[in-house]
Amino acid sequence: MHLDIIGRGPPLVLIHGWAMHGGVFAPLLAELSERFECHVLDLPGHGLSEERDGLALDATVDRLLNVLPPALWLGWSLGGLFALEAALRAPDRVRGLIALAASPRFVVANDWPHAVAPSVFEQFAADLAQDYGATIDRFLALEVHGDVGARQEIRWLRQRLGERPPSDPRILVDGLALLADTDLRAELPRLAVPSLWLGGQRDRLVPWQALDAAARMAPAAEFRRIDRAGHAPFLSHASDVAEAIDWWTGANTQVMLLAQRAR
């Protein structure tokens, strides 16, 4: 599994979202690397990480826990599912959780309106086999929807994705299945580490209301909305995301004690 370590300070793991790789976090790393030792990985079958046994939730979390140090964990979008599951399973390893545009459930339900229809992920899975490039482009457009600099951000994301091998289509289908089928809401009350839930005001994929609701279910949780941001706030509002993380770690003595103990 490919892992970059950047910066100095308490360790902070960053896990990217669907079809991406760790390089997309560059704007946020510029903000955080002076205060955190950032461990930035490529998920299996993404970027420079090899694919072994698909992208199942339990098996992938096992791999992550084997290669990463005790740290605060930040998961963006799909990466948030892995970070949340790891925090639930191994609070001695995941010392604090930052869910960035990530939800415990990504599809709608009768009691969960702040999500997308299952058909969204089903259509992406069907389209991958027909036109891989166009499907990824359409997903990028959803990620930056609502941002003032959306066109520039799409170009930037395309350039970053082109710097590493494309994601394995089979892995991408696994990831879509995880987004469609996973529901960790019932597990939130037993989350044993502090958590910060950050949502973009204009997010079309994971409405900020979902993160607000998740924070209300978990103990020792905080929610913060990034105004005028879409699904990738670390691109359009990197300084705001970094400021929210600084606020959370600075205001929460338990978080900082756990982070310092992880070094």
Q: Which of 42, 147, 203, 240 is catalytic?
A: 203
Global pTM value: 0.94
* Pairwise CA distance, residues 100 & 14, whole Å: 10
- Tell me the pLDDT band of 127, cut-offs 50, 70 and 90: very high
259 Cβ contact list (under 8 Å, min separation 6): 10, 11, 12, 71, 72, 95, 96, 249
Query: Mind listing the pLDDT tens digit for each residue in 150-193?
Result: 888 899 999 999 999 999 899 999 999 999 999 999 999 999 99
- Establish whether 77 is a catalytic residue: yes
**Domains identified in the chain, total number:** 1
pLDDT at 36 over 80: yes
121 Cβ contact list (under 8 Å, min separation 6): 106, 107, 176, 177, 179, 180
Q: Which residues pair with 94 in a beta bridge?
A: 71
Mean pLDDT of 56-65: 96
Query: Mind listing the pLDDT tens digit for each residue in 97-121?
Result: 999 999 999 999 999 999 999 999 9
Residue located via tokens 């058909």: 119
Q: Which of 16, 39, 42, 77 is catalytic?
A: 77
Q: Which of 231, 236, 237, 240 is catalytic?
A: 231
- Establish whether 147 is a catalytic residue: no
Q: Find out whether 226 and 200 touch, Cβ atoms under 8 Å.
A: yes
The residue segments making up the domain with residue 236 are 3-262
Phi and psi at residue 200, in whole multiples of 5°? -85, 135
Q: What is the CATH number of the domain that holds 230?
A: 3.40.50.1820
- Establish whether 231 is a catalytic residue: yes
Q: Can you give the pLDDT at residue 109? A: 97
